[in-house]
Structure 1
Amino acid sequence: MGRRIATVFGGSGFLGRHIVKRLAEKGYTVRVAVRDVESAMCVKPYGDPGQIILQACNIRKYDMVERSVQGADVVFNLVGLLSPWGKQSFGKVHVDGAANIAKACTKAGVANLIHLSAIGADVNAEAEYARTKGVGEAEVLKAYPNATILRPSVVFGPEDGFFNLFAGLMRFTPALPVIGAPLFPEVKFEKGELDINLYGDGGAKLQPVYVGDVAQAAVNAIDNDAAKGKIFELGGPEVMTFMGVMKRILKQTERKRFLVPVAIPFAKILGGIIGFLPNPILTRDQVTMLETDNVVSDGALTLKDLGVEPTLADVILPTYLARFKQLKKQSRHIERRI
């Protein structure tokens, strides 16, 4: 009996690389289906020669998807957008692409389909990202009822686009934003003293989850009858407010910055302007999502139901945010002398 075959759509991405590595370690032949094969060369060293196969595929094109899943025992759909660009719209990727993969898996008789969604996915959501994720889930389950749906909160790790983003901005700006602060400060008089609260509750609540935990949960879902047709919400062991995240970054980098309260209406205006840029750091749609908490729902199936104990952020963050620490004065004097 030969090796089992796994197809990973989006296998060269942040989460995809962790999943490909784990599949290779388990002895799978891994097809990494991506739009740009050259950019996916980084995953080749994860396996033995010939074990990891790069395959050009655009999930918007059904015939390409069909070829990619032929003979596969398990398929992972990890493709997603944070902001639309060119022909890559939320609808075409999150809905049409997801439906193509699910239909092709059913036709090919694939035993396992694991689909990556997001906490907050809802067909009635105001934010287009969350709404298309919700519609995509529905299309996947319609075409492949036994699919396992994974909904992570904000995913963090050495190459993430969240903690690294704000830590990087901090090197060039004197302040960090607290998005979701009240439009007007909350003013109270308590025991004869004036109390001015600029930040309200600190913005939306997030439940950052370690990328390694999400990858392990995805791999643990293979051949897991209890996971088929189920939706899992994946969050870390700690809930943080947006302000709490900014404070965590400052703590890990040993820097001091002002925390600037940014109300949702102002953030939407800013996101609407920046959103027209290529690879924007903030969009209006993302701000809309920050109007609601991004945490695991009460009663939801979680990481633990897939055999994974969630990792504390403070265990992982120091391993990659340390590079953003400010050089000590003594070190700078030594560098000048050298």
Structure 2
Amino acid sequence: MLFNINSNKMFFFFILIFSTLISISSNSWMGCWIGLEINLMSFIPLISNSYNLMTSEASLKYFLTQSIASINFLFSILLKMIMMKNFEMNPLISILINSSMFMKMGSAPFHFWFPNIIEGMSWLNCFILMTWQKITPMILLSYYLNKNLLMIIMMLNTVIGAIGGINQTSLRKLMSFSSINNLGWMMSSIMISETLWMLYFFMYSFFISIMCFLFYILNIYFINQLFMFNINFLLKFLILMNFLSLGGLPPFMGFFPKWIIINFMMMKKLYIINFIFIMMSLITLFFYMRIIYSCILFNYLKLKWNKIFIKNNYFKLILIISLISSIGMIISTLFFL
């Protein structure tokens, strides 16, 4: 298998998938809440490991934060049922529901638990938390949207996600702040249309999966371990090109959903938000370039005999998938120039 998962954890993994489907297909708020609770109780066994204290601590922190968000969500649902005399949106209730969803997905200003919990997880769990666990809160957020609040929160996400990742040496924390930054772009896409959000989310999940899988098979958790990533220069560049796509550097494929969002915001005359988004993307590209720089250019004399031989056929799969990122260059020349 791709990752070492026993049969019990596979069972909880399937429950995790079905709980998300329950929430997004429910026609009542209580059904959405039940799906979120099943999702919480199925993800904790995937995190926890009796042989690792960090995973046990991460599962406990995750349980506490998600429980607080669920209580807030349930309280806002009950408040909505009591106060609902007509179908007009109550600003207080919409803020409560939106803030509980922000806490569920690890959005700023409720993001403080997110990097700490990711630090104690395996790369598979990091991938699930950064991608799959954001689906339900984002879709529930689109049901009861407070646009004024959302504009402030998505600017906060891009700023905190960019600045928070600058001084990080841990790759897991760096990827978590990158996820917070991309969350701001996702919120802006879901404010425009759900189709655009799906496009952005699938492309983001695609690039995150490549990076998490790469770090998993190389057993790398910190930037200084990238010095040991001692393989062919061209192979390194092709793999790390995904970082540039994740940062949204043109003409790579990850730039296109961001380009569409920028165009829509220009049409809506949201120039200040657009400016903040573009500037924060440059900062994220800075710490991605730092990873690429350390991986490609740094070399020690003792590493000349310390070669890494990866006896894993999945490494070839990563290499092939990495080349897909260069398709963005072809699309840009055919359709966008």
Q: Which has the higher helix share?
A: 2
TM-score (norm 1): 0.33
User: 1 or 2 for the larger relative contact order (CA 8 Å, sep ≥6)?
Assistant: 1
TM-score (norm 2): 0.33
**Which of these two proteins has the greater Rg computed from alpha carbons?**
1
